[in-house]
């Protein structure tokens, strides 16, 4: 039956995500490993997988719009299936957008009613779905969040709550170890912890149920049955709750043992592993940090907000001195400034992420002796109406080389390759908000002075934010020059829809050997990033050889 896909937690500081792109539309077939959307977080643009199979029935957040963590963004199920009950069940509580009342998907097979013996006939799908929907009005399902872009599962390091504990929406329920770090999981739900589905030390797949929070007496079995896990997990949930059965069930979730691990016995400090690790990294005495967690337990936010007082610092320094080196006392305190993303920065993040993770980049490097180019530029500027820069010479040489190697002047269009007959060179410019790429159109047909004059006008417009769309679009090849900033060489990310970008370093005096004699020459390093879907290594190498010939002997550009 239909399954809900929610906005995942993609970073430890994320509260909402913006849908940068939908890769599927309503009616499309979805596989469990399909990327259904790209989400822009506070740190990066990342891919979202649904981990379900079926047909995309519903999209809840338009491209460019934001959704809170755990908010429903899509529903996948069978063609024509009625999914409205999931939307109604998914947002019954005031903080639904923060993950309240997870509308858990209905099962694909029949399951026993929560309050019926296992020997009774299986309930119809509609009864199971109805029971689950009723239970979800009073409960929130907590799932294993996606905490990194490469995470497929997370291991529960510690539970900070046990079954029966009261939970607040901002409580840290558990600490999860991912492939990159140990991070805290917040449930975004108020109520009682009714069920723990993963023991400490065990792993759960992304989007798997790890806990359920809600009103006491909520039919947890119905929710688990609707999830399609069968009777065994439901029995575990029943055993996890006092008075659920009359017997003394020994199989209690490991979370109930959590207090033993964190209790303040033998003088030990009650603190989460993540909090201890952060305190050690920051040089903070964990025993001095007041805890705000359950029973005074110290959690991550306590360490983040802790400011050492002057008194402990004064007393610890002499003590450390007895052992040798004095203790380090930081001057001031940690801090940061959050700057809202500009639309330009959002576009840069989206487009370059798409390019880097979609186009298979490879890199070609070449050294160019610029002695003759330097002499030619000096002569040109004596008669040119505008000052010609080395970058202008690279633009002209690149445009002429593209004329001889048209495959480098191509674009990847998904189902076909477009070989452009015109040559428009984009030249990257750094401004306060990021990078923008003004375009010199028909660069191969223009003289050096025409390129220099047009480039100067475009750069001035870019810095004054007066560029028109037609002046920063339509590029067929791009150049990024950091030579004027003293960078010897670097690699650049391809600027879509180009098939390549040229990274230009500075001109540097270098000692070389020629016929047994040493001499000093001026060398400029060029690195071309190529999209291997279009440009093969030999094609790129021949292009760079032609470009090198033009720059090392500029008079050939005039022929």
Q: What is the pLDDT of residues 374-387, one digit of tens each?
A: 999 999 999 999 99
Say what angle helices 371-383 and 390-404 make with each other, to 10 degrees. Answer: 110
Half-sphere exposure of residue 515: CA atoms within 13 angstroms, side-chain side: 0
pLDDT confidence of 268, banded at 50, 70, 90? Answer: low
Q: How far is the CA of 553 from the CAs of 107, 367, 460, 547, in angstroms?
A: 72, 14, 30, 10
Q: For 137-159, what is the mean pLDDT? A: 81
pLDDT confidence of 180, banded at 50, 70, 90? Answer: low
- Is the pLDDT at 111 greater than 70? The verdict is no
Average pLDDT, the chain: 80
Q: For 476-482, what is the mean pLDDT? A: 96
- Rounded to whole angstroms, how far apart are CA atoms 369 and 372? 8
3-state secondary structure of 447: coil
pLDDT at residue 148, as a whole number: 58
Q: For 392-407, what is the mean pLDDT? A: 96
Q: What length does the chain have?
A: 559
When mean pLDDT is compared across 190-199, 223-232, 242-251, 525-534, the lowest value belongs to 242-251
CATH topology of domain 359-557: Chloramphenicol Acetyltransferase (3.30.559)
When mean pLDDT is compared across 304-318, 405-419, 422-436, 470-484, the lowest value belongs to 304-318
CATH class of 131-227: mainly beta
User: How far is C-alpha 280 from the geometric centre of its chain's CA atoms?
Assistant: 27
- Is the pLDDT at 93 greater than 60? The verdict is no
Domain range 3-86, its CATH number among 2.40.50.100, 3.30.230.10, 1.10.8.50, 3.40.50.300? 2.40.50.100
pLDDT at residue 346, as a whole number: 79
> Given the structure tokens 């989460």, which residue do they identify?
272
| Numbered ranges of CATH 2.40.50.100 in the chain | 3-86, 131-227
- Rounded to whole angstroms, how far apart are CA atoms 283 and 275? 12
When mean pLDDT is compared across 146-150, 186-190, 243-247, 355-359, the lowest value belongs to 243-247
- Rounded to whole angstroms, how far apart are CA atoms 8 and 11? 9
Beta bridge partners of residue 512, listed in sequence order: 519
> Among all residues, which ones are annotated catalytic?
532, 536
Closest among 205, 177, 209 to 196, alpha carbons compared:
209
pLDDT at residue 289, as a whole number: 87
| Numbered ranges of CATH 3.30.559.10 in the chain | 359-557
Closest among 45, 31, 50 to 206, alpha carbons compared:
50
pLDDT at residue 246, as a whole number: 38
pLDDT: which is higher, 55 or 310: 55
- Rounded to whole angstroms, how far apart are CA atoms 425 and 474? 9
- Residues 186, 173: contact at Cβ < 8 Å? yes
Q: Which helix (H) or strand (E) holds 394?
A: helix 390-404
When mean pLDDT is compared across 114-123, 144-153, 225-234, 347-356, the lowest value belongs to 114-123
Q: For 436-441, what is the mean pLDDT? A: 93
pLDDT at residue 32, as a whole number: 74
């Amino acid at each position: 039956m239909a399954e809900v896909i929610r906005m995942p937690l993609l970073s430890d500081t994320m509260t909402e995500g913006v849908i940068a792109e939908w890769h599927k539309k309503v009616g499309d077939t979805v596989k469990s490993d399909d990327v259904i959307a790209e989400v822009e977080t506070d740190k990066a643009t990342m891919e979202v997988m649904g981990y379900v199979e079926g047909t995309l029935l519903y999209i809840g957040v338009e491209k460019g719009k934001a959704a809170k963590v755990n908010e429903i963004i899509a529903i996948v199920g069978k063609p024509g299936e009625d999914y409205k009950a999931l939307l109604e069940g998914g947002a019954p509580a005031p903080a639904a957008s923060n993950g309240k009342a997870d509308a858990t998907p209905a099962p694909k097979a029949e399951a026993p009613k929560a309050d019926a013996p296992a020997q009774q006939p299986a309930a119809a799908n509609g009864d199971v779905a109805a029971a689950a929907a009723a239970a979800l009005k009073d409960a929130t399902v907590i799932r294993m969040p996606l905490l990194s872009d490469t995470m497929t599962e997370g291991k529960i390091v510690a539970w900070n709550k046990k079954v029966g504990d009261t939970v607040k929406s901002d409580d840290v329920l558990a600490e999860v170890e991912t492939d990159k770090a140990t991070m805290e999981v917040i449930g975004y739900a108020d109520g009682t912890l009714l069920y723990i589905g993963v023991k400490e030390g065990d792993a759960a797949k992304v989007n798997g149920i790890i806990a359920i929070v809600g009103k006491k007496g909520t039919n947890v079995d119905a929710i688990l049955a609707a999830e399609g896990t069968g009777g065994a997990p439901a029995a575990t949930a029943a055993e996890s709750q006092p008075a659920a059965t009359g017997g003394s069930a020994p199989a209690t979730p490991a979370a109930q043992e959590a207090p033993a691990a964190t209790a303040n016995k033998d003088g030990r400090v009650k603190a989460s592993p993540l909090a201890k690790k952060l305190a050690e990294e920051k040089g903070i005495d964990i025993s001095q940090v007041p805890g705000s967690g359950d029973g005074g337990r110290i959690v991550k936010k306590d360490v983040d907000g802790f400011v050492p007082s002057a008194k402990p610092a004064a007393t610890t320094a002499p003590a450390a001195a007895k052992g040798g080196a004095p203790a380090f006392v930081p001057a001031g305190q940690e801090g940061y400034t959050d700057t809202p993303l500009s639309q330009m920065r959002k576009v840069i993040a989206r487009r370059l992420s798409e390019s880097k993770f979609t186009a298979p980049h490879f890199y070609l490097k070449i050294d160019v002796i610029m002695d003759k180019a330097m002499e030619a530029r000096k002569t040109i500027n004596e008669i040119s109406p505008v000052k010609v820069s080395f970058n202008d010479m690279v633009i002209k040489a690149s445009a002429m080389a593209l004329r001889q190697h048209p495959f480098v002047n191509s674009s990847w269009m998904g189902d076909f390759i477009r070989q452009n007959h015109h040559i428009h060179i984009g030249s990257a410019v750094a401004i306060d908000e990021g990078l923008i790429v003004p375009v010199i159109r028909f660069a191969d047909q223009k003289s050096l002075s025409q390129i220099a004059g047009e480039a100067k006008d475009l750069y001035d417009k870019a810095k004054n934010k007066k560029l028109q769309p037609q002046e920063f679009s339509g590029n067929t090849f791009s150049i990024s020059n950091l030579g004027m900033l003293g960078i010897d060489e670097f690699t650049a990310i391809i600027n879509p829809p180009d098939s390549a970008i040229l990274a230009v370093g500075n001109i540097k005096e270098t000692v070389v050997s020629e016929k047994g004699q040493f001499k000093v020459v001026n060398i400029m390093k060029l690195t071309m990033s190529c999209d291997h879907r279009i440009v093969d290594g030999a094609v790129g190498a021949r292009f760079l050889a032609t470009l090198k010939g033009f720059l090392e002997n500029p008079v050939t550009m005039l022929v």
